[in-house]
C-alpha cells in the first residue's frame, strides 16, 4: 500500500512539472459576437498583476480609444471577459492589450486612458502585447 502511494505522488509531481507555465506575456482571442456587451480573451499571460485593456482599432492596427478592461493576475489567466463601455458593431475591430499597474497610484484601480502613463501597456522587446479581433 505504501508503495502505491509513493507511485501516485511521483505521478502527480510529473504532471505538475508538465503544466509549469510559460510566463511569456501574451494574449489570445478569436473573432466573436460582442453584442452581449463583453469581449473575451481565451487566455492572457501577464508578467505581473495588471489589466486586459480593450482598445478600438482599425485596419491601420493602431490602438484607439479604450472601450473596456478587466483585471489580470500574474501568470496565466483563462477566459478573461471584459465588459464593453459602449456598443461595438459587427465588423468593428478591437485590440486586446496587456497593461500593468505601473505608474498608477492604486493597485486594483484602473487608471489608464489612451496615452496616459498610469497603468500603461507592457512591452516585450519594445513591442506591445496584443491580439486583434473583429466583432462578428
Sole binder of Cu ion in the list 93, 97, 131, 135 (CB under 5 A): 97
Q: Helix, strand, coil: what percent of the chain each, to 5? A: 10, 40, 45
Comparing CB distances to Cu ion, the nearer of 10 and 62 is: 62
Rule CB under 5 A: is residue 68 a binding residue for Cu ion?
Answer: no
- Which span (23-31, 68-76, 86-94, 119-127) binds Cu ion, by CB under 5 A? 119-127
**The three-state (H, E, C) secondary structure of 40-95, written as one string:** EEEEEEECCCEEEEEEEECCCCCCCCEEEEEEECCEEEEEEEEEECCCCCCCCEEE
Task: Report the C-alpha gap between 99 and 35 in whole angstroms.
Answer: 24
Sole binder of Cu ion in the list 53, 54, 80, 133 (CB under 5 A): 53
Residue 16 CB, shortest distance to Cu ion, in Å, is: 34
Task: At 102, list the grid cell.
Answer: 505601473
- Which span (5-13, 30-38, 90-98, 102-110) binds Cu ion, by CB under 5 A? 90-98
Q: Are 110 and 8 in contact (CB under 8 A)?
A: no
Sole binder of Cu ion in the list 50, 68, 104, 121 (CB under 5 A): 121
Comparing CB distances to Cu ion, the nearer of 12 and 123 is: 123
| Binding residues vs Cu ion (CB under 5 A) | 53, 97, 121
Amino acid at each position: 500500500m505504501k508503495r502505491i502511494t509513493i507511485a501516485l505522488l511521483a505521478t502527480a509531481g510529473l504532471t505538475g512539472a508538465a503544466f509549469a507555465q510559460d510566463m511569456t506575456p501574451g494574449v489570445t482571442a478569436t473573432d466573436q459576437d460582442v453584442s452581449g456587451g463583453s469581449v473575451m480573451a481565451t487566455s492572457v499571460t501577464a508578467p505581473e498583476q495588471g489589466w486586459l485593456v480593450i482598445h478600438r482599432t482599425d485596419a491601420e492596427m493602431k490602438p484607439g480609444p479604450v472601450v473596456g478592461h478587466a483585471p489580470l493576475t500574474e501568470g496565466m489567466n483563462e477566459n478573461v471577459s471584459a465588459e464593453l463601455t459602449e456598443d461595438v458593431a459587427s465588423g468593428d475591430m478591437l485590440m486586446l492589450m496587456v497593461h500593468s499597474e505601473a505608474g498608477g497610484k492604486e493597485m486594483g484601480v484602473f487608471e489608464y486612458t489612451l496615452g496616459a502613463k498610469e497603468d500603461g501597456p507592457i512591452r516585450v522587446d519594445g513591442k506591445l502585447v496584443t491580439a486583434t479581433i473583429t466583432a462578428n
